[in-house]
Amino acid sequence: MSYKINLDTKIIINVENTNFKKITLIFLSSLKDLFEEFVTKVLLYYFEKYYENGRLPEMLGVLQVKKKTTRTRTKFITLFGTISVPQIQVRIIDFSGTEHQMSITRQLLGITRQFRIPDFMKEIIGWLGAVSSYRVAYNTLRILTNLKCSLMSVWRSVQWSAKKIKLKLHKDGTNEFEGDGTGIPTKKSGKRGSELKKIFQKKRDGKLHLVGLSIGKYKDKNDWLSAMSELMTALNSGLKKYAKIILSSDGDWSIINTARNISKRIKIQKDKWHIFHQLKYYLWKDGVKKEFRNKIISHFFKITMLLQSSMDGFYTHETEGNTNIYTTKTERSMRTTNQRINVGIWSDAGALNVCKIRGAYYYNGISPLNWKKEV
């Protein structure tokens, strides 16, 4: 059941002329006071209602709640600017019989402890910080809203948002997966940097769904094992479609050996795209004409087909009855990663969090873009 909130605030706005930019800025600045009173009235109204109908102890997970008078106020950062609302304090008795004081303003508003920025806003800021640079996200917020936060708040929001995202198997996912790695410029990792390791699940519509991500040294088996955790989930699910898994990769032995150590039910499909792509590239580089290049590639393909029985993992998709698997889409995902990551030197954790948010947005549809539709 909803309750109507009556606002008694009268806002006086002084204007000097009809310049649209100026009257827009003046109106935006006046919204802070209006929003502050609105939040205050909603907060106090529902506190009284929850207290009267006895829902408060259940909401707080305690045995009993007693009112306590206080004039303390709490500040929160909002889209309209920083507001100050009453800090509602109560005396609570927990199930062990212990009584102590507790501030419940954050619980009622759904704001995480030790943060002045509401969770849904941290998701927006974190997403902005992942799809653009931290400084661009910071300046974008300042241009479009009255939100006042530091550049460090953008960084913290990215870390917070990434921890919330869980990379899980897709309900319409198949038993086909792709794995690949790419270099990431990280601190104290030398000229080559660290390796970002990705595992994708192929969906029925042919699109990819990110299910695993880790970062660390090149060829590191433990990092690949971490990225493949959802493969183990699939194998242990008991679902018939995961009786066996087809994993496509570019032939990296650290991927292949890690997968084989997990289970013999993981069948390897070495990616043919890399071979023909490289062959095509070097023929072009050597100045071979297009028509002749295509003939060479065609003959090479026929030869590999004849040698199929001796090329372990090259034609798994045919013997297992799966679709023809290439990692071209996984290769394209690296471009998406590099567009954001190749702007500086990162810590492993910082790079992983940005890539996680970015990957979840582009491939798993996870983003705060529809926050206005969610109530």
Orientation angle between helical segments 151-164 and 348-364, nearest 10 degrees: 60
The answer to whether position 296 is within a domain reads yes
Output DSSP code: residue 85: E
pLDDT at 305 (0 to 100): 65
Q: CB of 137 within 8 A of CB of 22?
A: no
The range of the structural domain enclosing residue 101 comes to 1-116
Q: Judge if 351 and 205 occupy the same domain.
A: yes
- Judged against a pLDDT cut of 90, whether residue 215 lies above it is answered with yes
Question: Considering 100, 116, 132, which residue would you say is the last residue of a domain?
Answer: 116
pLDDT at 15 (0 to 100): 86
Helices (H), 132-206: 134-144, 151-164
pLDDT at 308 (0 to 100): 60
Q: Over range 231-254, report the average pLDDT.
A: 92
Q: Judge if 218 and 77 occupy the same domain.
A: no
The answer to whether position 13 is within a domain reads yes
pLDDT at 316 (0 to 100): 78
- Judged against a pLDDT cut of 80, whether residue 306 lies above it is answered with no
Percent of the residues in the chain that have a pLDDT greater than 90, as a whole number: 50
The answer to whether position 7 is within a domain reads yes
- Closest listed residue to residue 158, CA positions, set 368, 336, 357, 348: 357
Question: Considering 92, 116, 140, which residue would you say is the last residue of a domain?
Answer: 116
Question: CA-CA distance, 244 to 228, in Å (whole number)?
Answer: 15
Q: Judge if 169 and 83 occupy the same domain.
A: no
Q: Over range 275-302, report the average pLDDT.
A: 85
Least confident residue range of 94-103, 217-226, 307-316, 331-340: 307-316
Average pLDDT, the chain: 88
The answer to whether position 132 is within a domain reads no
The answer to whether position 233 is within a domain reads yes
- Judged against a pLDDT cut of 80, whether residue 273 lies above it is answered with no
* Burial of 92 per CB tally in 10 Å (0-12, 13-18, 19+): buried
The answer to whether position 144 is within a domain reads no
Q: Judge if 93 and 204 occupy the same domain.
A: no
The pair of three-digit structure tokens given for residue 22, joined into one six-digit string: 């100026």
Q: Judge if 323 and 214 occupy the same domain.
A: yes
- Closest listed residue to residue 292, CA positions, set 280, 305, 309: 280
Q: Judge if 214 and 302 occupy the same domain.
A: yes
- With bands split at pLDDT 50, 70 and 90, how would you rate the model's confidence at 230? very high
Question: CA-CA distance, 131 to 149, in Å (whole number)?
Answer: 19
pLDDT at 375 (0 to 100): 47
- With bands split at pLDDT 50, 70 and 90, how would you rate the model's confidence at 307? low
The pair of three-digit structure tokens given for residue 55, joined into one six-digit string: 């829902």
Q: Judge if 319 and 177 occupy the same domain.
A: yes
Domain count, the chain: 2
Least confident residue range of 226-235, 260-269, 318-327: 318-327
pLDDT at 309 (0 to 100): 57
- Rounded to the nearest 5°, which phi and psi values hold at 6? -95, 125
Least confident residue range of 24-38, 310-324, 327-341: 310-324
Q: CB of 252 within 8 A of CB of 181?
A: yes
Q: Judge if 205 and 288 occupy the same domain.
A: yes
pLDDT, one tens digit per residue, over 82-113 is 999 999 999 999 898 899 999 999 999 988 87
Question: CA-CA distance, 219 to 215, in Å (whole number)?
Answer: 11
The answer to whether position 154 is within a domain reads no
Q: Over range 341-345, report the average pLDDT.
A: 85
Question: Considering 97, 116, 135, which residue would you say is the last residue of a domain?
Answer: 116
pLDDT at 202 (0 to 100): 94
The answer to whether position 358 is within a domain reads yes
Q: Judge if 107 and 220 occupy the same domain.
A: no
Q: Judge if 358 and 238 occupy the same domain.
A: yes
Most confident of 38-42, 70-74, 167-171, 271-275: 167-171
Question: CA-CA distance, 296 to 42, in Å (whole number)?
Answer: 73
Q: Judge if 209 and 351 occupy the same domain.
A: yes
Would you say the pTM of this structure is higher than 0.85? no
Percent of the residues in the chain that have a pLDDT greater than 70, as a whole number: 95
In which element (H, E) is residue 316 found?
Answer: helix 316-319
pLDDT at 374 (0 to 100): 52
3-state secondary structure labels for all residues of 14-73: CCCCCCHHHHHHHHHHHHHHHHHHHHHHHHHHHHHHHHHCCCHHHHHCCCEEEECCCCCE
Q: Judge if 75 and 176 occupy the same domain.
A: no
Question: CA-CA distance, 247 to 272, in Å (whole number)?
Answer: 13
Residue 123's SS3 state is helix
Residues paired with residue 182 on neighbouring β-strands, in sequence order = 196
